[in-house]
Amino acid sequence: MKKSSYVLIIILIFIILIGVTIFSFLYYGLGKPPSVKANSYLEINLSGPIQERAVPGLFMNRFLGEPSLSMYDIWMNIQKAKVDSRIQNLVIHIDYLQCNWGKVHELREMILDFRKTGKKAYAYIDEALEFDKEYYLATACDQIILHPLGSMVINGIGGYIPFFKKTLNILGIEAEFEHVEEYKTAYNQFTEKGFTPAHEEMMKSIYQNLFSIYLNKIAEERGMNKKEIKALIDQGFHHGKEAKESGLVDKLYFEDQLINHLRTNDKPIHKITHSRYAKVKPSSLGLHRGKNIALIYGMGPIHTGEGFYQTMGSSTISRWFRKVREDETIKAVVFRVDSPGGSAVASDIIWRELVLTKKKKPVVISMSDVAGSGGYWISMAAHKIIAHPQTLTGSIGVLTGKFNLEEFYKKLGVTAEKLTYGKRADLFSTFRGLTPQERKLLKDEISWIYDKFITKVARGRNMKKKEVDEIGKGRIWTGIQAQKRGLVDEMGGLSKAISAAKKLAGIPEEKKVMLEVWPKKVSFLDILLGRKPASVLSLSSSRKKRFLSTLKCLEKKKTWALMPYWISPE
């Protein structure tokens, strides 16, 4: 092919990319804020995955097929709707949610906060199959509306936790892991045939606490006693008319009937969607102004190096903290943590940056669904820790180990020749098992790290090491349990954390603040021109892919401060 042909191809590709970029700006309306008509209602469709921060850039959201819902965007839209005189009502379309109880509780608190303005909130449900989390959210609204043919299935929380030891035995695979201590159960499903006493005690405690909160809150909002609600949950299935008669829902409407229901006079009512309303600038409504507070998001498994979307790279988070620390216009920091942990070293790197920042300005932790193990490590030194009652946190413990595939390789006919220089060069090899001496060596190593962990917790939380050890040992606590044990200060969400940061910074409660948010948004043009890390292309939304990405991040790390990946109460 001639050189001129290559040049033409490159020019053609460039023209196509520029065309796609221009199209995205025009089609998705990036630019001029939308007009909001008087007598409008804000419609938010809650379905599927809800991340802390959505894929940066609206075009990338649509182009890559990733979810656009984020806790930050929902929170900001509801904050705007509260003070926007043009918005009269909030309509939440609720479908199956792929997030845990902490996020659902915070969404619920957002709706209840919206209602304090005197405006109404409505939950609309087409059908509700295994809908306990979603129903818990719906009960925050003034009215719950179900499609006339819809079924309401609320049947409690819980399920099955699988154990694979027998399967691994059949395959000839042995999981060899050491942990500190008995509640550190991240790999129990591979090393045990069922619950150990400590594992069972911890899991029952978590689920019973979550169910108790769920039962109490929906009974309170629906004007029933707990016994009545428990009976309805045990019944499980409730068809349209039956759901209304039992008091689980208020109305049975088609969607057009809901719109008519919203009308309080003969004036036309207008809808504005979540995505369009997100383009309304907070400053146009008197928000997002005043002194600066940094809002740093720490999401996903923790590992050394640069992070990519929905993982927490220690280099990336550290760089953000340094920028915040050196910026004199930023008066306080809110660190939003949603992480099951990961590399102990990476967690300690982030902890160090938080400690240095704390010396210059207030630092407040806002815990989301989960902030345990390494996720607690990076949180423990803050001035204040705020969590949800259902946040999973604690898990102060360490583990290490490997899978021994020696017998598995024999079954496959795989052979290997040993060639090592150094007595323990093949310590983590999958071609042999650990010796008793090596297992003790690993246990001593993680015990040393565990001692450092509880020492830092004790210092950060103003506790004695012995006290921390008693509530540590790898045990996971819900947020409300953690508060009772001194690991968390207060219950609340992002709004509570911002208020706490303002107070610590000496900013009056009634004063507005401007949030400097990290990670910054990334446009398609940024990625095209290489101005931002293109690693946002390494995305996944399914639980399976998130777990695989966690393993990929941690595959070179031998010591983990990691929670069980399967703890996801449904």
Enzyme catalytic residues: 373
- Measure CA 271 to chain center: 29
Strands 398-404 and 559-562: antiparallel
Sheet holding 40-49, edge to edge: 251-252, 143-146, 120-125, 87-98, 40-49, 270-273
Sheet holding 341-343, edge to edge: 174-180, 398-404, 559-562, 341-343, 302-303, 312-313
| DSSP-derived secondary structure letter, 420 | -
CB-based contact 34:279 (threshold 8 Å): yes
CB-based contact 122:91 (threshold 8 Å): yes
Helix (H, G, I), strand (E, B) or coil at 431: coil
Can you tell me the distance from the alpha carbon of 457 to that of 70, in angstroms, rounded to the nearest whole number? 31
Q: Which of 251, 256, 333, 374 is nearest to 501 (CA)?
A: 333
Contacts of 414 (CB under 8 A, 6+ apart): none
Q: Which of 396, 276, 288 is nearest to 34 (CA)?
A: 276
Can you tell me the distance from the alpha carbon of 43 to that of 45, in angstroms, rounded to the nearest whole number? 7
CB-based contact 420:426 (threshold 8 Å): yes
Contacts of 73 (CB under 8 A, 6+ apart): 54, 274, 278
Write out the E strands in 232-329: 237-239, 251-252, 270-273, 291-299, 302-303, 312-313
- Burial category of 143 from C-beta neighbours within 10 Å (exposed 0-12, middle 13-18, buried 19 and up): middle
Can you tell me the distance from the alpha carbon of 516 to that of 290, in angstroms, rounded to the nearest whole number? 12
Can you tell me the distance from the alpha carbon of 293 to that of 408, in angstroms, rounded to the nearest whole number? 54
